[in-house]
Amino acid sequence: MKFICEKEKLMIGLNTVSRSSVSRTTEPIYEGILITLKNNEIVLTTNDSEIGMECKIIDIDCVEEGKTVVDCKMFCDIIRKLPNSEVKIYINDNDLLVIECEGSTYKLSTLNANEFPTLPTINVEKSISIESKVLKELVKKTSFAISVDENRPVFTGELFEIAENKLNVVSVDGFRLALRKANISKASEDFSAIIPGKYLNEIVKNLQETEDLVEIGISKNQALFELPNCKIVTRLLDGEFLNYNNVIPKERETRIKVNKNALQSAIERAAIFSITAAEKEKKYPIKMSISLGLLTISCTSQVGDAKEEVVIETTGKELEIGFNPKYMLDVLKVIEEEEVYLDFGTNISPCIIKSTLEDKYTYMVLPVRLKE
């Protein structure tokens, strides 16, 4: 195996696949990266048995075809620190991978490429096509509500649900729920799948802000994401996801319309008193008092108290309700619109945050009880 490639082009591929390589394992092959050279293109593959990634680098100078496996982290670190120039890579007579760039020369031990766990062949049963930038937005603006509680593994993933030519992406962690919707280009039929959050975040890092289509294929227990020059395979989570349509309240007693930035800034300032230096483990809620045309946000702790007033449009009853400010801010930070609706029932009912323009997102935040 022997080829010449620009360092920058090689790093793009390595940055894509290196995220699925295991750094600590009893199986050294899982720490490796498979380098396959054929038809003037390099295929880089990593696979930790849970998620596998494959990336193609085209139009390189292929001198001799072949394949090998080297330690992924070591290989990436070497290439990353080389000068921005052409890199020559080849296997020498001692089966070492030689890396040469200007005055630098490195040699790495290799493993048997035939023992590398290549990506499984997915028997796609259902599939959709969606623009890369749309998929990136859906995940980025819902992933904050993915649970980290391994005792409820089904909630450590995101629900991908196809219904009525829309992709609904849903996450829930027991304190809040995030739902985003988008039209899709192509779907085989309605279906749902739960994709592990930690792998979904790695997939999103490879998505570009473009209109290029991403093909998502689903089999019984795996998902396949096909991007331009990149293929990613991940397992699916087993279990029944929350029936989110049944837990989101359909009725409200109070609705406010508020400037999103004004509300976010007011909560950020009041939240300074939520966690104090003297009581790092104790968290104080913020209180939201809703009256006609005015929202008062307050927080009282041992170090003092804060009070903020925000002008709103009010429909329905007056209300006092408490929230963990972080959960409210997590939602507001991913909303891009100027104004939002906040819908309330009683002071122990969830707050529902919706768009004032179209039905493309719904966020739900559970309240906390205020002390009398």
Domain covering 126-245 in this structure, CATH number:
3.10.150.10
Burial environment of residue 63 by CB neighbours within 10 A (0 to 12, 13 to 18, 19 or more): middle
- Reference 334, options 108, 195, 228, 176; nearest CA is 176
Establish how many alpha carbons lie within 13 A of residue 49's alpha carbon, considering only the half-sphere containing its beta carbon: 7
Radius of gyration of the CA atoms of the chain, in A: 25
User: Quick one: which H or E segment has residue 326?
Assistant: helix 325-332
Sign of CA dihedral 60, 63, 64, 68: negative
Task: CATH number for 249-365: choose from 3.40.50.1100, 3.10.150.10, 3.30.540.10, 2.40.50.100.
Answer: 3.10.150.10
pLDDT, one tens digit per residue, over 16-65 is 898 655 555 567 888 999 999 998 899 999 998 788 999 999 989 999 99
Distance CA 211, CA 168 (A): 19
Distance CA 155, CA 223 (A): 17
Rounded to the nearest angstrom, the gap between the alpha carbon of residue 144 and the centroid of all alpha carbons in its chain is 8
Residue 188, pLDDT above cutoff 70 = no
Write out the residue limits of the CATH 3.10.150.10 domain(s) in the chain: 2-115, 126-245, 249-365
Q: How many CB atoms lie within 10 A of CB 281?
A: 5
Band the pLDDT of 146: cuts 50, 70, 90: very high
Between 21-25, 95-99, 252-256, the lowest mean confidence (pLDDT) is in 21-25
User: Letter for the amino acid at 72?
Assistant: C
Distance CA 303, CA 322 (A): 19
Residue 77, pLDDT above cutoff 70 = yes
Mean pLDDT of the 207-216 span: 90
Decide: helix, strand or coil at residue 139. Answer: helix
Mean pLDDT of the 235-256 span: 95
CA dihedral 9, 11, 12, 17 (to 10 degrees): 130
User: Quick one: which H or E segment has residue 62?
Assistant: strand 61-64
User: Letter for the amino acid at 303?
Assistant: V
Distance CA 200, CA 180 (A): 15
Q: What is the pLDDT of residue 277?
A: 47
User: Letter for the amino acid at 57?
Assistant: I
Q: 333-352 burial, b if ≥16 CB within 10 A, otherwise e?
A: ebbeeebbbbbbbeeebbbb
What are the CA-CA distances from residue 165 to residues 178, 183, 186, 190 (Å)? Answer: 20, 6, 8, 8
What are the CA-CA distances from residue 202 to residues 61, 143, 333 (Å)? Answer: 30, 12, 21
- pTM for the model stands at 0.89
Domain covering 2-115 in this structure, CATH number:
3.10.150.10
Mean pLDDT of the 354-362 span: 92
pLDDT, one tens digit per residue, over 261-274 is 999 999 999 998 88
Q: What is the pLDDT of residue 264?
A: 98
- Reference 90, options 74, 111, 106; nearest CA is 106
Task: Report the chain's terminal Cα–Cα distance, integer Å.
Answer: 74
Between 129-133, 154-158, 226-230, 266-270, the lowest mean confidence (pLDDT) is in 226-230
Residue predicted with more confidence, 326 or 28: 326
